[in-house]
Each structure stands twice: as structure tokens, then as C-alpha cells.
A and B are shown apart, each in its own frame.
Chain A
Amino acid sequence: MEGVYRRLSRFYRPYLRLLYVSLGLLVLTTALQLAYPYLLKMIVNRVVIGHHFQALLPLSAAILLASMVKGVFNFSQAYLAQVFGSKTAFDLRNALYKKLNHQPFSYYDNVHTGDLMSRMTADLDAFRMFFAFGINNLMSLGLTVVLGISMMLTMNWILALVLTALMPILAVTAIRFDRQLHPVFQAVRRTLGNLNSGVQENLMGMRTVKSFAKESFEIDKFNERNDAYYGANMQATKLWRKFFPFIELVGNIGVVLILMVGGWLVMSSHMNLGDLVAFLSVVWYMIWPMSQLGFFLNNWTQATAAGERLLEILEYPDDLDASDEQISQSVQGKVEFRNVGVKMGDKWVLSDINFTAEPGQTIALLGLTGAGKTTLTSLIARFRDATEGEVLIDGIPIRSWNRHALRSQVGVAFQDPFLFSTTIFANIAYGRPHAKVEDVRRAAAIADAAEFIDELPEGYMTLVGERGMGLSGGQKQRVALARAILLNPSILILDDATSAVDMETEYEIQQALQKVMAGRTTFIIAHRISSLKRADQILVLDGGRIVERGTHEELLASHGLYRHIFDMQFQDFASMNDSGETAQTGTEGHIG
């Protein structure tokens, strides 16, 4: 467990000086805190009993002064600790963000956004809190106990021993409490998580819920989870009701014991009354911090668990080999695959892939869901590495290219067009934030997005993304395409990037792209034959292998899988003719 703090030490080590100063001030604060009972004892003994009234004023002034100085020290130690915690959290949050920004693509195949969010927020905060006041709390508790007991020893060792006898009871109770509370808190967090995800799912699927008139079913499901969360909270309450009053009782019994034994000592003239009063004050001061022991320990346990979850992000290995990344020159566009295979888990998703794409060519990939098309293109921008074989860009092994230099010259338009919460302009300019306005407009025009953007009331200033204007699927795809075009890439990858666009628009986009991409390389993934029939080379994938290759005409003639897919798409063509029409269409023809 300590390994967690060692492995995260680079984040807090630069600021340790803050912590040391803070802890120094904390020692002074605690010492001054104990001055109060001491001064009280002086007043009772010398002024009240001893009738030295001239000592009253300086002693009262001393109480005030001590309290003021203590206030300043206390503020400073608490604030410095907060600064220490905040600076550590600041660096840690930046580092986590950076790491997430460079995490390999495969990382995002397996994580849930919600889980990462809770690590970046709740866990980070639990970790921060330990640094911002947890350490000081533990230190303060230790100091109070040590100083208190030593003061008591100087006052009266018999009474001190009586009280020390109660310490083990408190310590054992606190530790047991912490141990029992841990699983209960886990249950609270788990049931809350269930409740969250249940409500979230219900809201996302609201149309389906309403369509089937299943509101009461959903309410039952919700009630179950709501009740479970209530139950977990009540479990925690049951522990609290058991432990907190007990710790309080032990402290109170301490007071009574001191009163009894001390009373006897005073009566038998082994102690004077003022000492007893002062002793009682010291006991009062120790009771509260002692009762917090369980909380403080809990704070530490949680920080350790949180730190572990943060380390899982920070120490996630890079699955790309970075040892030879030296080439950053401009890419010409030649792409070569030599016996490439990719294994995920125990399954080969690509095997034995060989092809060469020359600059200026358009390569199309066709295949059923799961055939390996997206995996193949992800190797070109080096989103992942091949398990075997070699990918070469301009004849240079891809592992020798600086990955950022390479990626900034490869434009990818993804299947799911993700737009960020900002203006349409900034979304198109995502890869080139300082692009000229004319360039952005030109990219939009090529992607056939310029027209609809200009028709929006706010034009390029229109806010899109989660909370912005709802664009249709086809519109989003065209904005994402413009984003890829603006990069002016040497290699352009369209991963099913125009599937929601109607055929007419798609044709126009392809015509415009052909001009822009002259002398450069384009990869197209699509299901519609019409989208890829004009490619220079069509690769048909099945089960991770290239089963056919050639031009549209060649493949039609070979009567293989391509021909089969073509026939399936065009089987309606004949029946259309039967109904007396001269036009032809594919079954996937989209109207409207």
C-alpha cells in the first residue's frame, strides 16, 4: 500500500517544503492550545486561591495573546497544507489529462467514460484531501496525545496513568470501526453507482420506455435501486450509532475517573485543587481529537485506494514502440502492407495483408461487419501496431516515423462523427486551430457542408456538440469530413464517413475530393457499392483476410464475394424494371 505514495511522489515532492512549514506551525499551534489549561491553572491557583490579584491582568492578557498567536499559526498551517494539497492535485490533474491525451487507442476500447470521470473527480479529490488536511489531522492528533500525556505526567503521574489506561480501548475501537466501515462505504458507493446508471439509462431510452408504455416497470426498477441505496446508507448509520457514542462514553468515563481519583488525591492532600481543574481541562482538550481517530484513518484508507485507481491510468503502458521514432519529414503518400497480421486477445482480426497504394490512388475496402476494415486503416495512422509483418509509409517502416508528425499528415474521418462543444468553425479547424477563414470555408465547400452552414442563422458561429444545435447525422458527417480535409493530408482515410449522406451528395463530395487529393492517397471504407466503385483498387475483406482485389469491373467479372454483395444490393433492380421503370437503384438507396 505504501508503494502508492512512493509511485506518486513526483507530484508532491516539489511542494514538501510547504508541508514541513505547515507541520512546524502545527506543532506550535498544538503547544499553544495546551497553554490555555496551563494559564487557567495559574489563574485558579495564584489568583483565585492564592489571592495574588495583581497577577490576574497579565495572565488574562496572556490567554488573549496566546489565543491570537495560536489563531495566526493555526490559519497559516491550515492554509499552507491546503496550498500543498492543491498544488499536488493541480500537477496530478494535469498529468492525468496529458496521459489520457496520449493513451493508446486500445485503452479506450475497454474503459467507460463514467468510470474515468469518477477517477478524475472523486478519486483525485479523495487523494487531495489526505494531503490538504489528512496528514495535518493525524499529526495534530498524535501531537495532542503526546503533549497532553506528557503535560499530565508533569502535573500528576497517577492521574495520567489512569487516563493512559483508556487509550488502548479507544485505539482498538477506532481501528475496528475503520475496518467495518470500509466495506459499508464501498456498498454505499456501489449502490449509488447503480442508481446513477439506472436513471441515466432510463432517460436515454425514454422514447422506448414511452413507446411500450413501460413507465411502471421502470418505476419498479428505480424503486429497487433507490431502496438499495437507502439500505446501504442505513448500514453505515448502524455502524455510526455503535461507535461514535461509545468513543464519547469512554472519554466521559475518563472525566469521571479523573474526578474521582483526583478528588481523592486532593482530599488526601497529594494534589491541590487548581491542578485538578487544569488536569480536567487537558482531558477535555484530548477527547474531541481522539473521537475523530476513526475519521482520520478512513481518510487515509480512502486516499490510498484512490491513489491506486489514479496509478492505473498513469502507469498504463504505451502499446506502441517509441524507440525508433525519428522521421518527421513530409509524407508523399505511398502506403505498403507486407504480411501484416493483428491479434487482439487470442483472435487474429487481420492476417496476411499485402498491398501497395501509390500516391494519387484511391483504395476502397469492402467487407461485412467485423471483417477487419477499420483495424486495417487504424494501422496507417499508427493508432495501433501490427502484431506481425510491416507497414511502410513512403518506403520507411512506420515505427520509424514520429507518430505525431505522421498523424498530422493523415486525415481520418471516423464512422461516428464526434463534434466538440464549440462553434462549427472551431470544429472544422480542430486539427489546425490557426487556419485562415478562407481555408476553413474551402474545406467545408469540398465536404459539401458550406451550403447548409451558411443557411444556419449563426453560420460558422453556430454552437454544436452536446449542448449545442442538433445537426442531422449527414450534416455532422460532412463537418467531420471538412475537418479532415482542412488538414491538407497526404493520406486521407474515410471510415464509412459519408454513410448518412445521400448518394447524390456523396457523389459530389467524391468528385470534389478527387481534385484535392490528386497526387495523394485516399482510403475509403463503405458498404454501398456505389460509394467505392470508382476506386483504383478495391480490397474485399472477409474474416481478416483479403479475399479479392481489383477494380470494380474486374471484381464483377470474377463472381466472388464482391459480385455476391453487388447482386444482393441490386436484386431489386430487376423488380423495379418489372414495375415498368427504366431507372435502376440499389436496395440501400436512401430517399429523403
Chain B
Amino acid sequence: MSVNAKEQVRSEASNREELLRAPFIYRDDEALEKSFQFTLMKRLASYMRPYPGLMAAAFCATLGNLAVTLIAPYLVGRTIDTAIAHHRVHALLAYGAILIGLYLLNFAASSFRIYLTNQLGQRVIQGLRRELFVHVQGLSSDFFDARPAGSILVRILNDVNSLQDLFTNGVINSITNLFTLIGIIAIMFSLNWQLSIVTLVVVPFMFMLSLRLTIQIRRAWQQVRLRLSRINAHLAEGIQGMRVTESYVRQDENQMFFEKMNRDYMATFLRAQRWSIPFGPLVDLTGALGSALLFWYGVHLLHNGVVTVGLLVAFANYLGNFWTPIGQLGQVYNQILVAMASSERIFQYLDTQANVVDRDDAIALPPIKGKVEFRSVGFSYEEGRRALSDVSFEALPGQTVALVGHTGAGKSTVINLLARFYDPTEGSILVDGKDIAKVSLDSLRSQIGIVLQDTFIFSGTIMDNIRYGNPAASDEEVKAAARAVYAHEFIENLPEGYHTEVRERGSRLSQGQRQLISFARAILADPRILILDEATASIDTYTEHLIQKGLNVLLEGRTAFVVAHRLSTIRDAHQILVFDGGRIVERGTHAQLMAHGGYYYDLVAAQYKFLA
């Protein structure tokens, strides 16, 4: 539940009625851009450290480019002054040869620079993305429970990608640009310092102006991105819910809503353009001003014999080259500001620590027999929200334990703790007499099988999906597992049998079929302890029948914890734990509990009267 989103909406909606009837409400992303922060920048830069060779090579190639950019105009000026003006054919040819040589060098340097800088950037991005993904894989369930998959996805993909420009072009280019600027200034001053001062007098003004402009441009684009993300949010949702829209004939209202959003986006976009476009012409204009000053003063110096025509031409050339790096530095500055926000979000994830981790002295759990014990276990997902209190029970190897109770009674929490998705706040959980907090996660989870209510199907073949928990299994073993849980028949009836490709979360399969596949997956992994969350969704009677038969096979000989909805499953359990408000309120077998006439009896009896 997003408190922020509501606050935001509240300030936008003028009154309660408007909010109540808001057609759609989308939460805006967290701050898109940040001010410059040195620590962030330093941490970002550290990702280039593993590639000192690449960096050095890229830098050398860049210097090669730079040298030619700086020397060539000077040589062209010299050619005009010394060779052409004085009719020296040999000198002309010599200069020509030198220039060609330089440009060939430039060609090679450019080629290397492009290759090396891109490689550096791509490597950094590849590495950063890998680090982020690996880190996120290791985070605990509370991390994933607290945020929608979409927002994690955006960080791993979009936020990392938005750093790509900075690392491929930004870093190297800004170094090049700085060097170019310094080089040009140095050369200009060495050629003639008076001329340099006069022509560069406009630079500080230009600098101030572009800095102010940059701030406006950044703000304007921030607004554009904000609106674009709203449009995208609505599109994604609108497409998924389109059947509802069409059948409720809501098209006209939605069209109005969308057009308003679209118009708003266009206006903001054009406003950003109005700020961005003048940047180029302004740089041009300042350049022209510099040129005018150059000639006005240059001709004066020429008249006094202080400078030559060639020098003036060379000077004009340098001045022309002076403005490009300035414009590019402005762009890099913008890139850096965008990167600040992205990198902050990335680092926020990287700095998140997993709640459930192996202890330093964690031992590998030896092959287990299946005895499970909860000793006065208590748990809160967050401060003050108690999910489980004082839960104690013991399950012997091979027993089936049914967990019964209303939504939120604590059944799922028991399962979350047993699989060590979370660690208990109080008490301890023992498997074969060993505290599971003291064993390694891998050794524990690889011996526990979990069948979730909504079976997740990965894209790939049915065969791959069943094999997920036991990649070494042969095709025959996969089929045997499917046969054992009565999934074989429907799989064989699919167009390509076990090799049928399932896509987009297995949408081609029904809920019941997906559950049968998850049974096969679990039986192939052959865990000693099985956790099963029965599906409540609508399953047709025939498949339902298969699931019941499959379930019996699956449960046999394993210690099993079942969040049960089917009466048949509950009735056959060795032990039924009835939960209410995070506590065990009743326990026993079906017969015992029915005879007892308590909470469980009421739950069961409540259903009967609708069937008679």
C-alpha cells in the first residue's frame, strides 16, 4: 500500500469526491533526477577500475585524435603562410604529405577510440548488471514481498541502461573535451596572447548562460519523463484490462482520459524542446561574436605587422573548434545528473542486505529423515504486526500435517518459516533435531519441496519445467514422474507432448494442469519434506479428480505440510492444526476434532447446509 501515492493524489484531487471517482490513479516514480553528489560519482567511477588496460588504451587513442585535431589547423595555416603565399612547391608537397600522414594516424586512432571506449562502457554495464542481478537473487523473501516485480525489473534493466551512455561516451568524451579545450586555449595563447584574450572574452558569459539554460532543460525533460511514465502505466494496464473496458463500454471515458494525458505530454514535450533547441543557436551566436572580435582586432594587429594572414586563418579555425567541446560538456553534465538518480536507485538495492543468510558457522544439513519440530515459534513481518505467536508442534517422518484456518490466520507464515524464507522472531524450528537457523540455506531448501498455489511455469518445454528441480533427470525419469501424479495423459494430448513450448507463465495450460505439472516437478526432485499450498481456484471435476489421486502419491512416505482446502486432504491428514489469529486453537485428527465440536467443527458444518 503506497502512502506516498495517496498523498500525491490527494494534493492533486481537489476534493474527496474527485478522488473517489478518479478514473485511474498512477503512482509517480521516485525522484527521477538528483543534484550532483560526489560520493555517488566516486562509487560509479569505481566500476571502471577493473579495466586499467582498456582505460589506458582508450585514453591513448583519444589523445591521438586530440593531437591531430589540434595540430592539423595549425599546419593548414602554415601551408598557406609559408608554402602557398611564398610559392614554395616543395614545401606545399611536404605539408601535404605530413597532413595525409596525420590524418591516417587519426583514422587509426578514431577506429581504436570508438572500439575501446564502447567496449569499456559495455563491459562496465554488463558487469554492473551482473552484480545487481546476482545480488538480487540472494535477497530474502521480504524484499520480493515488499515490492512489485515490475519495479525491480525497471532497476535491473532501465536504470542500468541509462548509465550506458555515460560510460560509453560520457566519461571518455568529457576527458577528451576538457583536453581539447585546454589544448586549444594553450595553442591560441602561444600563437598570440592579445588576440586570445580578446576573442575569449565572451566565454564566461556564454558559460553562465548555458549553465542556466542547462538547469531549465533538465527540469523540462524531467517533467516529460514523468508524463511518459504515466502514459505507459495506463497503456500497460489498459491493454491487460481491455476485455473489461470493451464489455462495459467504457471506451469514450477512457479515450477522454487518455487524450488529456496525451495532450499534457505533448505540451510538456514541446516546452522542453523550446528550452533545448536554443542551445545550439546560442553557441553559434557566441561563436560568431568571437569571430567578429577576432577579425576586428586581428586586422588591427595584421596592419601593425604583429600577425600574419595564415595565423589569422589558423586562429579562426581554433576558435571554430572551441565551441563544439563546450556544447558537448553541457550534454555530459546532463547525462551525469540523470545517471545520479539511476545509480542511487541501483546502489540502494546493492546495499540492501538479505535478512535470511547462512551463519558463518553454518553446517550443511545431512540427508534428512523428516522429523520437524516447532518450539514456541513467534513471528512478526513488521513491528507491531504479529503473524504468529507461541506455535509448537511436532511432525514425525512420513506424517501429513494439514494447516487449516481463515485467510490471515497464520498458515502461510508457518510455511514461510519452515522453508526459511524468513527467520522466526522467537523460538526455534528443528529438522531431525537440528535448528534450521544453523544450517546452510542451500542444503535445507534442496531437501524441501514446495508446491505453490499458483504454479509458476517458466518459458520452455513441459519437459524442462518438470525437470526444474532435478536437471540431471533423464527424459524417462521425467515421464515416470508425470505418470506417477497422473499428469502424463494430458501432456501426451498436447500438440507436441512433452516438447510443447509453454510461454508467458504457462497461459496455454489450465490452473489444474499447471498444478499437476508442479506435482511432477516436486516428485522428481524427491524431497523428504514437502510443503504444499493447495490451489483454491476453479478446477474442472475431472482434473480435480486427477489432482486428488496425484496428491496421494506425492504425500506418501514424506513429511508433508499442506495448507489444505480440500476436505479429503484434511480428513486423511495424520494431524490437523487449526489456526486463528496466529495461534494454534485446535489440533488432532478429523475424527477427534469433529467429536470435539469446536472451531473446526463449525468450519466444516458451515459448508454442509448449502449442499443439502
Most chain B beta carbons < 10 A, residue from A248, A418, A496, A592: A592
A74 touches B281 (CB 8 A): yes
B269 neighbours in A (Cβ, 8 Å): 86
A255 to B355, CA, bound (A): 66
Query: Contact at A245–B114, with CB atoms within 8 Å?
Result: yes
Closest to A211 in B: B450
Contacting pair B110 A230 (CB below 8 A): no
Given A423-B19, A463-B1: A273 and B565 interface contact (C-beta under 8 Å): no
User: B-facing mask of A225-237, CB < 8 A → 1, else 0?
Assistant: 0110110011001
Nearest opposing residue in chain A for B125, CB measure: A230
Q: A238 contacts which chain B residues (CB < 8 A)?
A: 115
Nearest B residue to A107 by beta-carbon distance?
B242
Q: Is B598 an interface residue (CB 8 A)?
A: no
A67-82 Cβ-contact flags toward B at 8 Å (1 or 0)? 1101110110011001
- Say yes or no: is B274 at the interface (Cβ < 8 Å to chain A): yes
| A245–B100 touching, CB < 8 Å | no
In the complex, the answer to whether B610 meets A463 with C-beta atoms within 8 Å is no
Residues of B within 8 A of A4 (CB): none
Give min CB distance, B534 to chain A, whole Å. 9
Q: Which residues of A contact B232 (CB under 8 A)?
A: 117, 121
User: Which residues of chain A have C-beta atoms less than 8 A from B568's C-beta?
Assistant: 572, 587
- Inter-chain CA distance A198–B148, complex, in Å, is 16
Task: Give chain B nearest CB distance to A204 CB in angstroms.
Answer: 5
By a CB distance below 8 angstroms, the chain B residues around A214 are: 468-469
Interface residues of A in 210-230 (CB under 8 A from B): 210-215, 217-219, 222-223, 226-227, 229-230
Q: A379 at interface (Cβ–Cβ under 8 A)?
A: no
Cβ distance A360 to chain B, nearest Cβ, rounded Å:
23
**A214 CA / B138 CA spacing, docked (Å):** 11
Q: Which B residues touch A527, using CB under 8 A?
A: 538-541, 544
* B524 vs chain A, min Cβ distance (A): 11
Nearest chain B CB to A90's CB is how many angstroms away?
A: 5
What B residues does A506 contact at CB under 8 A? 610
What DSSP secondary structure best describes chain A's contact surface? helix
The residue from B114, B299, B504 contacting A47, defined by CB atoms under 8 A apart? B299
Q: How large is the interface on B (under 10, 10 to 19, 20 to 34, 35 or more residues)?
A: 35 or more
- Chain A contacts of B510 at CB under 8 A? 369
| B5 on interface, CB distance cutoff 8 Å | yes
- With contacts A75-B281, A503-B611 known, is A425 near B20, CB below 8 A? yes
Query: Please, how many angstroms separate the alpha-carbon atoms of A90 and B255 in the complex?
Result: 13
Q: Are B244 and A418 in contact (CB under 8 A)?
A: yes
Q: How far is the CB of B577 from chain A (nearest CB, A)?
A: 12
Kindly provide the distance from the CB of B551 to the nearest chain A CB, expressed in whole angstroms: 11
Task: Tell me if A241 and B608 are in contact (CB < 8 A).
Answer: no
Task: Compute how far the CA of A87 lies from the CA of B150 in the bound complex, rounded to whole angstroms.
Answer: 31
B483 in contact (CB, < 8 A): no
In the complex, are the beta carbons of A263 and B607 less than 8 A apart? no
B284 x A208 contact (CB < 8 A): no
Within the assembled complex, what's the spacing in Å between the Cα atoms of A101 and B242?
A: 7
Whole-angstrom distance between the Cβ of B234 and the nearest chain A Cβ: 9
* Contact, CB under 8 Å: B540 / A67: no
CB distance from A437 to the nearest CB of B (A): 8
Q: Is there a chain A Cβ closer than 8 Å to B156's Cβ?
A: yes
Is B292 in contact with chain A by the CB < 8 A criterion?
Answer: yes
**Which residues, 125 to 143 on A, are CB-close (under 8 Å) to B?**
none
What are the interface flags for A248-292 relative to B under an 8 Å C-beta threshold, 1 for contact and 0 otherwise? 110011011001101110110000010011001000100000000
Task: Select B84's contact among A219, A276, A467, beta carbons within 8 Å.
Answer: A276
| Beta-carbon contact of A499 and B538 below 8 Å | yes
Q: Which residues from chain B contact A218 at a C-beta distance below 8 Å?
A: 137
Closest to A590 in B: B565
Closest to B115 in A: A241
In the complex formed, the residue of A with least CB distance to B511 is A369
Task: Indicate if A348 sits at the interface (CB-CB under 8 A).
Answer: no
Cα–Cα distance between A460 and B24 once the two chains are bound (Å): 14
- A270 nearest CB across to chain B (Å): 12
Residue pair A591, B570 in contact (C-beta under 8 Å) = yes
Q: Report chain B residues within 8 Å CB of A48.
A: 299, 302, 309, 312
Is the pair B246, A101 in contact by a Cβ cutoff of 8 Å? yes
Q: Kindly report which residue of chain B lies nearest to residue A91, judged by CB atoms.
A: B262
Q: Which residues between 537 and 592 of chain A lie within 8 Å of chain B, taking CB atoms? A: 565, 568-569, 572, 575-576, 579-581, 583-592
Interface size class of A (residues with CB under 8 A): 35 or more
CB of B239 within 8 A of CB of A408, answer no
Give A242 to B114 CA distance when docked, in angstroms.
9
Q: Does A97 contact B (CB under 8 A)?
A: yes
A530 and B611 within 8 A (CB): yes
- Give the contacting residue for A93; candidates B2, B144, B262; CB below 8 A: B262
A53 within 8 A of B: yes
A423 and B20 contacting across the interface, CB-CB below 8 Å: yes
Q: Do B607 and A213 touch across chains, with their CB atoms under 8 A apart? A: no
Q: Are A418 and B22 in contact (CB under 8 A)?
A: no
- A473 with B239: CB separation less than 8 A: no
Interfacial chain B residues near A513, Cβ < 8 Å? none
A326 lies within 8 A of chain B by Cβ: no
The answer to whether B459 and A245 have CB atoms under 8 Å apart is no
Cβ contacts under 8 Å, B306 to chain A = none
The complex places the Cα of A181 from the Cα of B356 at a distance, in Å, of 48
Pick from A103, A273, A466: contact of B150, CB below 8 A.
Answer: A466
**Are A234 and B122 in contact, CB atoms less than 8 angstroms apart?**
yes
Asked if residues B238 and A277 are in contact (CB atoms below 8 Å), the reply is: no
Q: How far is the CB of B599 from chain A (nearest CB, A)?
A: 11
In the complex, chain A residues 395-448 whose Cβ is within 8 Å of any chain B Cβ: 404, 407-408, 410, 412, 414-415, 418, 420-423, 425-426, 429-431, 433
Chain B residues 514-535 with CB under 8 Å of chain A are 525
Q: Which single residue of chain B is at the shortest CB-CB distance from A591?
A: B603
- Complexed CA–CA distance, A507 and B611 (Å): 10
Chain B residue with minimal CB distance to A55?
B299
**Set A53, A200, A588: member contacting B299, Cβ < 8 A:** A53
Q: Is the CB of A412 within 8 A of B242?
A: no
Chain B residues near A103 (CB, 8 Å)?
A: 242
Closest residue of chain B to A221, judged by CB? B458
Given A210-B421, A233-B122, A253-B100 contact (CB < 8 Å): yes
Q: Do A414 and B566 touch (CB < 8 A)? A: no
For A528, the closest partner residue in chain B by CB is B538
Check B309–A212 contact: CB distance below 8 A.
Answer: no
Given A259-B96, A423-B22, A569-B541: A213 touches B446 (CB 8 Å cut-off): yes
Are A267 and B21 in contact (CB-based, < 8 A)? no
Closest Cβ of chain B: how far from A366's Cβ, in Å? 9
Q: Is A113 an interface residue (CB 8 A)?
A: yes
A259, B76: Cβ atoms closer than 8 Å: yes
Complex: chain A residue closest to B309, CB-CB: A48
- Tell whether A423 pairs with B122 under 8 Å between CB atoms, given A47-B299, A60-B292, A212-B469: no
25 contacts between A and B (CB under 8 A): A40-B316, A64-B288, A68-B285, A70-B281, A71-B278, A102-B251, A108-B242, A116-B239, A207-B144, A214-B468, A226-B130, A230-B125, A252-B72, A267-B84, A277-B313, A369-B512, A383-B247, A420-B24, A422-B23, A499-B538, A500-B537, A527-B538, A527-B541, A572-B568, A592-B407
A210-B419, A253-B100 known; 6 new pairs, CB 8 Å cut-off, are A75-B278, A86-B270, A100-B242, A101-B246, A204-B456, A592-B405
Question: Which 4 residue pairs spanning A and B have beta carbons closest together?
Answer: A67-B288, A499-B538, A71-B281, A431-B248
